Amino acid sequence: MKQLLFLLIFCLLQLGLSAQIELEQMLHSKHLIVYKLNTSTAEYEKLVDQAFSNYFFLEDSFYLHTDETKPKGSFNKIYWQYKEQTFDKKDIYLKENNIEVVIDHQEQTITFNQNWNEVLQQYEMILTVSSFD
């Protein structure tokens, strides 16, 4: 009986961990936040904070992406290059056009930093997806 209970708990824990952001699995994000840099104040203003369905399949050299606005089953293939892992275990990838993709395994978010502003030394647009299942 104890072994059966242990096996059941183990299986439930594995199911609970399935939402972890890892390579080679389909991820479904249900929330989107978009920030835009106010270049006058050098502070970010929240433009969007809403439910929004995104699907990702992450690989070493690319990821597949689709969202609720695209036809079902249609994915974009986006190439990226691994840059580094930060001290707090965030993985950073670079896409073309100097877009930085930050995967935060602890907070369970994927952030897209876009349009680097050389003068302010900040990104002008930040998109974050979260609430993975």
pLDDT confidence of residue 76: 95
Tens-binned pLDDT, residue by residue, of the chain (133 aa): 444 333 333 333 333 333 578 888 899 999 999 999 999 999 999 999 999 999 999 999 999 999 999 998 899 999 999 999 999 999 999 998 889 999 999 999 999 999 999 999 999 999 999 999 8
The single-letter code of the amino acid at 33 is: I
Q: How far apart, in whole angstroms, are the C-alpha atoms of residue 101 and residue 54?
A: 15
pLDDT confidence of residue 24: 84
pLDDT confidence of residue 5: 31
CATH number of 2-132: 2.30.29
pLDDT confidence of residue 10: 35
